[in-house]
Amino acid sequence: MLKMAHDTSAPASQLIDTFRSIVGDGHVLTDAGATLPYRRGFRFGQGRALAVVRPGSLVEQWRVLQACVKANVIVIMQAANTGLTGGSTPDGDTYDRDVVIVNSMRMRTIHLIGGGKQVVCLPGATLDQLEGMLQPLGREPHSVIGSSCIGASVFGGVSNNSGGALVRRGPAYTDMALFAQVDAAGELHLVNHLGIDLGTDPEDILARAERGEFPDASINWNAGRGHDDDYARHVRDIDADTPARYNADLRRLHEGSGCAGHLGLFAVRLDTFEAEKNPVVFYIGTNQTDVLEDVRRHVLGSFSELPIAGEYLHRDAFNIAEKYGKDTFIVIRMLGTRRLPALFAMKNRFDRLFDRMGFMPSHFTDRFMQFLSHFFPNHLPRRMREYRDRYAHHLMLKVSASGAQEARDFLTSHFAQHEGAFFECTPDEGAKAFLHRFAAAGAAVRYRAVHPRTTEDIVALDVALRRNDREWFEVLPDDINREIIVKLYYGHFLCHVMHQDYVVRKGNDCMDLEHRMLPLLDRRGARYPAEHNFGHLYAAPDDVRAHYQQLDPCNCFNPGIGQATKRRNWVAESV
Q: At what angle do helices 32-39 and 340-357 cross, to 10 degrees?
A: 130
87 is in an annotated binding site: yes
260 is in an annotated binding site: yes
DSSP classification of residue 263: S
146 is in an annotated binding site: yes
Cβ distance 136 to 145 under 8 Å? no
Closest CA to 158 of 256, 254, 88: 256
449 is in an annotated binding site: no
Residue 329: which residues within 8 A CB-CB, separation 6 or more?
Answer: 379, 432, 435, 436, 439
Half-sphere exposure of 550 (CA within 13 A, CB side): 12
**Element housing 18 (H / E):** helix 10-23
Q: What is the phi/psi pair of residue 439, to 5°? A: -60, -25
Q: Give long-range contacts, CB 8 A cutoff, 24+ apart: 7-12.
A: 7/50, 7/98, 11/71, 12/50, 12/98
Torsion of CA 330, 334, 337, 341, to 10 degrees: -80
Helices marked H in 184-275: 202-211, 231-235
Count other C-beta atoms under 10 Å from residue 511's C-beta.
10
83 is in an annotated binding site: yes
Torsion of CA 492, 367, 342, 129, to 10 degrees: 10
Strands 74-78 and 99-103: parallel
302 is in an annotated binding site: no
Closest CA to 274 of 228, 241, 236, 308: 308
Helix (H, G, I), strand (E, B) or coil at 470: coil
b/e 121-145 (16+ beta carbons within 10 angstroms → b): bbbbbbbbbbbbbbeeeebbbbbbb
Residue 312: which residues within 8 A CB-CB, separation 6 or more?
Answer: 292, 393, 394, 395, 396, 489, 490, 491, 492, 493, 498
Cβ distance 184 to 553 under 8 Å? yes
Q: Which residues are annotated as a binding site for FAD?
A: 79-83, 87-88, 146, 153, 163, 260, 265
Q: Which residues are annotated as a binding site?
A: 79-83, 87-88, 146, 153, 163, 260, 265
